[in-house]
Each structure stands twice: as structure tokens, then as C-alpha cells.
Amino acid sequence: MTDISNTDSPWLVIIDMQTIFSQYPKWWGCPKFDEVIQPILDLAAMFGDRTLITRFVRGPAPQGSWVPYYQQFPFANVPGSDPLYNLVPRIANLVRGDNVVTMTTFSKWGNEAHGLRAKTGAHPHLVLTGVSTDCCVLSTAMSAAEAGAFVTVALDACAGSSAENQVAAKNILIGYAPLISITDTQQLLKG
């Protein structure tokens, strides 16, 4: 695991545990979505108030490459308030105050004004969980790490869009060491 002795206490980040990703094979459903909920809840119990939850939503007026993207996935071309973008109930129970970050991009890192960085500061230690490993988790991990954040991915608390894509994402994350480290829920719970 990455040495984090010079950082604040880590933040748990629960990425995009929303209806749109939960109902495999419908929409963008991840086949192992339900299997990662309990590990995420176990970690959230440990992290307490240092838990952040993200949501992916369509932007108000998609532009550039997002136009053909939403043409390819018309089911997602609905406002961010649509129930399709709701957090699943067991994760929604973790919402407290302003711990939800809503973004129109795969990466939830953001900048000083919006996104995870606005909540955590420039060089936090982030422990990432959620979906999908091969898209939003990977994008967030890479952009946060490149910005200087310490990133740990709890791989057993992440679900890929397929078993093959989970392995592919793991291999990419391994290639980012030591900027990104991989662990599992049991190791984190041990402290």
C-alpha cells in the first residue's frame, strides 16, 4: 500500500452506485453490482463522516463528443433528476449533509470548485469503491493520482461492466503504481 503518512485521514469514495448501473443486463448494468454493496457498507461504517458518494448524470446540454455518446445511449439522455440516476436505496441511506458529489463526467475528481477535490483538498488519500471499475472508477483514480492525490482502489468493492473489463481495469491500475495502489476490503478493515 502507498505510504500515506503525510496525508490526512483517508476518504472513502463510493462511485456511482446508481440505478442506471444496477440492473444488469439493462442500461449500463454491472453484473456484480449487488455483490459490492456489502463491502462498501462495511467500509462506510469504518470511514463514517469521511465518506463521499458520487453520481454520474447527463449534463444539461451535452456538447462535443458527448452528443454522439448520448445518441448511442439514448436511455441515459434524461435529466439528472430522473430516477434512473438515483442512488440505490442501501447507498442512499449513507447520504449525510453535503457528502454527495454529482458530476457530468466519468472522472469525479473535478477541480477546486467542483467535484471530489473541492471536498477533499488537493492531495488527499482517496479509497475508491463503486462502479464501473473500467470507466468511472478508473477515470477518477487516474485523474486524482495525476493531480497528486494518494489513491487506493478497494478492488473487491468495485464492479466492472464485465468480468473481462474488471481484469483489464485492474491491469491498468497496477500500471499506475505507486500513484495508485490496489487492496481489498479486509485489508482496509484491519487498519
Supply the DSSP string of 120-187, one letter for each residue: H-SS-EEEEEEE-IIIIIHHHHHHHHHTT-EEEEEEEEEE-SSHHHHHHHHHHHHHTTTTEEEE-HHH
Q: Residue 45 domain-assigned? A: yes
Give the cell for residue 88: 440505490
- For residue 5, the model assigns a pLDDT of 40
CATH of the domain at 28: 3.40.50.850
Band (159; pLDDT cuts 50, 70, 90) = very high
Q: Residue 88 domain-assigned? A: yes
Q: Please, what is the Cα angle at 120 between 85 and 96, to 5 degrees?
A: 50
Q: Residue 5 domain-assigned? A: no
Calculate mean pLDDT across residues 157-177: 97
Q: Residue 2 domain-assigned? A: no
Q: Residue 1 domain-assigned? A: no
Parent domain of 51: 11-190
Q: Residue 4 domain-assigned? A: no
- Give dist(CA 55, CA 136) in Å, integer: 10
- For residue 92, the model assigns a pLDDT of 98
- Give dist(CA 160, CA 21) in Å, integer: 10
Q: Is the pLDDT of residue 1 over 80?
A: no
Q: What is the largest CA-CA distance in the chain?
A: 46
Q: Residue 177 domain-assigned? A: yes
Q: Residue 113 domain-assigned? A: yes
Band (3; pLDDT cuts 50, 70, 90) = very low
Q: Is the pLDDT of residue 114 over 60?
A: yes
Tens digits of per-residue pLDDT, 122-146? Answer: 999 999 999 999 999 999 999 999 9
Q: What percent of the chain is predicted at pLDDT more than 90?
A: 93
Total domains in the fold of the chain: 1
